[in-house]
């Protein structure tokens, strides 16, 4: 998720609405910044991620709604379920101070924990952010607000925990996250919304989980893994996709099996969309 893709004027209107403000000056007073700073967001076409994080934690507004106007699991007027209510709530300037004091390495570590990455390179590759930029966060003790929001929306981890290190890591009574849902239909892979699930039952790390279903079965695939190895894969052959069992052979060849049919081809003759990590079969 890239916040600059959101329409800054619309995002600003939702922030004002969340706080119950009608004027930009009210917001600038609340945030302790110059009114001209608020106006510059529209000129630049980007609202700072730190402001979105603070607004979500201050007001309980759903961060996904703040970014793109679409509600996820919370209402703007509802008590925010992503926050740990056993912790006394901090708002406004005190909240900013806590966020900024946990910037740099601490917030980076929480982001990596949420994504279940072990190295900064994995995070760099996933977010398409240079390793040098991530190193700068640590060196300057920078708080990457945009990345914190993206991480919360990607993983379902509590925004409060990511931003401040306080509260529960996952929302109470709901450790599920939304992952993309794809329909495998006559050789095509079609978007079909999202699937809500707790994928922690998978015993090893999944970089980019995707729920895939067809008329014959359902699978959880890792679309972040595309280097073909032994196992079950979603492969494209001449532009048509299906589920195949793959065995590596010498000479950059693979043995491919699907629905009782087996053939051998070059590894470069197929396109790997993702590796299957869970297979669910229908019993009827």
pLDDT (average), residues 69-84: 45
28's CB contacts (< 8 A; 6+ apart) are: 34, 35, 37, 38
What is the tens place of the pLDDT at every residue in 111-152?
A: 888 888 888 888 889 888 888 888 888 888 888 888 888 888
Distance of alpha carbon 222 from alpha carbon 72, whole angstroms: 23
- CATH 2.10.109.10 residue spans of the chain: 177-281
Both tokens of residue 151?
């991480």
Task: Give the Cα separation of 250 and 248 in Å (integer).
Answer: 7
CB 52 within 8 A of CB 63: yes
Question: Which pLDDT value is given to residue 139?
Answer: 83
Cross-strand partners of 183: 190, 213
pLDDT digits (tens, 9 = 90+) for 194-242: 887 877 778 777 888 999 999 888 999 999 888 999 999 999 999 999 9
- The CATH number corresponding to 3-164 among 1.10.260.40, 3.30.70.890, 2.60.40.10, 2.60.120.380 equals 1.10.260.40
pTM beyond cutoff 0.75: no
Instruction: For the chain, give every residue range classified as CATH 1.10.260.40.
Output: 3-164
Among candidate residues 208, 232, 231, 212, the one with its CA nearest the CA of residue 220: 212
Q: How far is CA 152 from the centre of its chain?
A: 6
Question: Which CATH topology does 177-281 take?
Answer: Umud Fragment, subunit A (2.10.109)
Least confident of 3-7, 37-41, 77-81, 89-93: 77-81
Q: Which residue has the higher pLDDT, 250 or 178?
A: 250
What is the spatial distance between Cα 104 and Cα 147, in angstroms, rounded to a whole number? 12
Residue 111 has phi, psi (to 5 degrees) of: -60, -45
Average pLDDT over every residue of 41-56: 84
- Judge whether 209 and 238 are in contact, CB under 8 Å: no
């Amino acid at each position: 998720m890239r916040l600059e893709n959101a329409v800054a004027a619309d995002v600003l209107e939702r922030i004002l609405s969340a706080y119950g403000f009608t004027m930009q000056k009210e917001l600038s007073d609340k945030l302790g910044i110059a009114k001209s700073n608020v106006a510059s967001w529209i000129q630049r076409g980007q609202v700072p991620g730190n402001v979105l994080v603070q607004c979500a934690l201050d007001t309980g507004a759903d961060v996904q709604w703040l970014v793109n106007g679409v509600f996820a699991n919370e209402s703007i007027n509802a008590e925010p379920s992503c926050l740990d209510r056993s912790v006394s709530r901090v708002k406004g300037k005190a909240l900013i101070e806590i966020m900024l004091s946990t910037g740099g390495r601490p917030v980076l570590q929480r982001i990596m924990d949420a994504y279940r990455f072990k190295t900064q390179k994995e995070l760099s590759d996933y977010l398409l952010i240079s390793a040098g930029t991530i190193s700068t966060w640590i060196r300057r003790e920078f708080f990457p607000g945009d990345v914190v929001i993206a991480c919360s929306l990607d993983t379902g981890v509590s925004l409060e925990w990511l931003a401040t290190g306080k509260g529960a890591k996952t929302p109470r009574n709901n450790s599920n996250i939304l992952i993309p849902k794809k329909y495998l239909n006559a050789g095509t892979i079609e978007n079909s919304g999202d699937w809500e699930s707790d994928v922690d039952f998978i015993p090893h790390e999944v970089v980019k989980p995707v729920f895939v279903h067809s008329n014959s079965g359902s699978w959880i695939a890792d679309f972040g893994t595309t280097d073909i190895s032994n196992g079950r894969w979603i492969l494209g052959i001449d532009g048509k996709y299906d589920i195949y069992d793959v065995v590596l052979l010498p000479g950059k060849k693979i043995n491919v099996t699907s629905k009782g049919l087996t053939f051998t081809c070059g590894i470069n003759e197929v396109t790997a969309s993702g590796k299957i990590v869970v297979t669910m079969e229908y019993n009827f």
